[in-house]
A = this chain, B = another copy of it.
Amino acid sequence: MSLTSSTPSDSARSASLAARSLAVLPVHSRNNALTAIHDALLSAKPTILDANAKDMSLATTASKDGSLSASLVKRLDLSRPGKYEDMLQGILDVRGLPDPVGQVSLRTLLDDGLELERVSCPIGVLLIIFEARPEVIANIAALAIKSGNAAILKGGKESSHSFEAISRVISEALEKTEVPNAAIQLVKTRDVIDELLQLDRYIDLVIPRGGNELVRFVKEHTRVPVLGHADGLCSVYLHADADVEIAKRVVVDSKCDYPAACNSAETLLVHEEVLGTVLPTVAEALLQRGVSLLCDARSKEVLREKLPSDKAVLLQDTGETDYDTEFLDLKIAVKTVPAVGAANGTAHTSDPSLDLAISHINAHSSGHTDSIVTQSKEAAEYFMSAVDAAGVYWNASTRFADGMRYGFGTEVGISTNKIHSRGPVGLEGLTIYKYKIRGSGQVAGEYGAGKKAYKHEKLDL
């Protein structure tokens, strides 16, 4: 790993060359590098937390005068209980996972002595641009090395002290390993993002980790494929037969567990029939946790009847854009899904209300994670098939959308892309595959109409 002050183009070119060596490095060499990083970060914890404290103090000041959002400050804090340990554990988890490189996903006998094989391999060079969340450096370095990819890291100015401290530690740790020096590059030079984004000759994938604006900026300024999500607009839908206790647990956790996270719920859809039965309990629990409820007319009307007056008075109205807003805050937009009788001619569902909820989600959610609360397996399965999102859950909190929670060790980010990787992206998401053919002089001209025929026999993996 090098802390580089060279030009973006030199960095990218040397990363690209390093990626070739890394791609053929055996897994034990890659794992040894992870051990080295882990051990070094463990010993350097006090130094790194000191550096992080400097960033926090600057950020807290900036937050007070309004130039930095409170949620960004929260993401920056490495001293939150368990955060440093989670970062370290993530490295060990990644080390313990099976090698994602060299996995065979298809084998076909094309003809006698002519075998086709599809094998996973690294993508090449990743460019990771991030704002806060300094622990991302460790996650990304671990995932990149294990998956055989080179990575260029560009951190934001808010986390610059933490970033430098962590990268110095990683850099020294890697010097004693077989991972080529240029495989993980830390670009410290300022104002080079535009230039980096033009280097599609060397860079294979950009992963922006940060707010919507960063992601949008990146998407608009590069031809390199971008992996990530701009918005995390997640919804929870309470169906007509939702269990009140499950509804309360799922909605409260989805909204309140960590409101600044992309997998927090921003919209609560409620079937008309449970406005007076399930919603009041859910609403009361949310109000108790300090959540502002932005309600449509129908849900507000029912809630005002059902809630104690000191609670009812807290209800607010939805504005025009509330169903399209990622609040990242203790706010949730409530919408009533009308009870509609079974329609004639709808082939694949017998419940038009469910279709209305799904249509709302497909039109307004960001394809991140959406959850249904229902006792009906049929409704749940239909919802999970028809909602077009990276995560579709039944009776579970949207907050489960996370690489660590999914068992991926850690993640480079959560993708709402509909190509390559979707949802939390771990090791598998950082690989692609190549097709190998092993023959003994076979040529295509021998096959075809009136000539030899392909066997296309599926072989065991």
Contact = CB atoms under 8 A, between A and B. Distances in A.
Contacts of A392: 434-437
Nearest to A450: B82
A310 interface: no
> Which residue, A362, A390, A400, has most C-beta atoms of chain B within 10 A?
A400
Contacts of A448: 82
B20 A362 contact: yes
A246 B388 contact: no
B445 A399 contact: yes
A23 B444 contact: no
Interface in A421-441: 421-424, 432-441
A405 interface: yes
A447 interface: yes
Interface stretch (A34-42, A60-68, A69-77, A219-227): A219-227
Interface in A245-268: 245-246, 249-250, 252-254, 256-257
A24 interface: yes
A395 interface: yes
A434 B438 contact: no
A23 B220 CA distance: 29
Contact of A249 (B394, B400, B422, B441): B441
A380 interface: yes
Identical chains in the assembly:
2
> Which residue, A442, A447, A449, has most C-beta atoms of chain B within 10 A?
A442
A81 B449 contact: yes
B406 A116 contact: yes
A396 interface: yes
A394 B253 contact: no
Given A123-B419, A124-B418, A419-B205, A439 B396 contact: yes
A407 B110 contact: yes
A443 B225 contact: no
B440 A246 contact: yes
Contact of A385 (B23, B249, B419, B435): B23
A243 B227 CA distance: 45
Give the size range of A's interface with the partner.
35 or more
A205 B420 CA distance: 11
A234 B205 CA distance: 23
A421 B449 CA distance: 29
Contacts of A423: 433-435
Contacts of A389: 434
Nearest to A428: B106
A397 interface: yes
A454 B408 CA distance: 12
A386 interface: yes
B443 A253 contact: yes
B435 A390 contact: yes
Nearest to A362: B20
Given A23-B386, A435-B423, A442 B204 contact: no
A392 B115 CA distance: 12
A265 to B, nearest CB: 12
Interface in A100-150: 108, 110, 114, 116, 121, 123-124
B436 A384 contact: yes
A417 B433 CA distance: 10
A450 to B, nearest CB: 8
A250 to B, nearest CB: 6
Nearest to A386: B24
Nearest to A442: B396
22 contacts: A82-B448, A220-B223, A225-B419, A249-B443, A253-B444, A380-B438, A390-B434, A391-B434, A393-B438, A395-B438, A395-B439, A395-B440, A396-B437, A396-B439, A396-B443, A397-B445, A399-B443, A405-B447, A407-B454, A407-B456, A420-B420, A420-B432
Interface of A: 20, 23-25, 81-82, 85-86, 108, 110, 114, 116, 121, 123-124, 178, 204-205, 219-220, 223, 225, 227, 243, 245-246, 249-250, 252-254, 256-257, 347-348, 362, 380, 382, 384-386, 388-397, 399-402, 405-407, 417-424, 432-445, 447-449, 454, 456
Given A250-B443, A256-B445, A406-B435, 16 more contacts: A20-B362, A82-B448, A86-B449, A123-B419, A249-B442, A252-B443, A380-B438, A390-B434, A391-B434, A393-B438, A397-B443, A407-B454, A418-B432, A422-B434, A422-B435, A423-B434
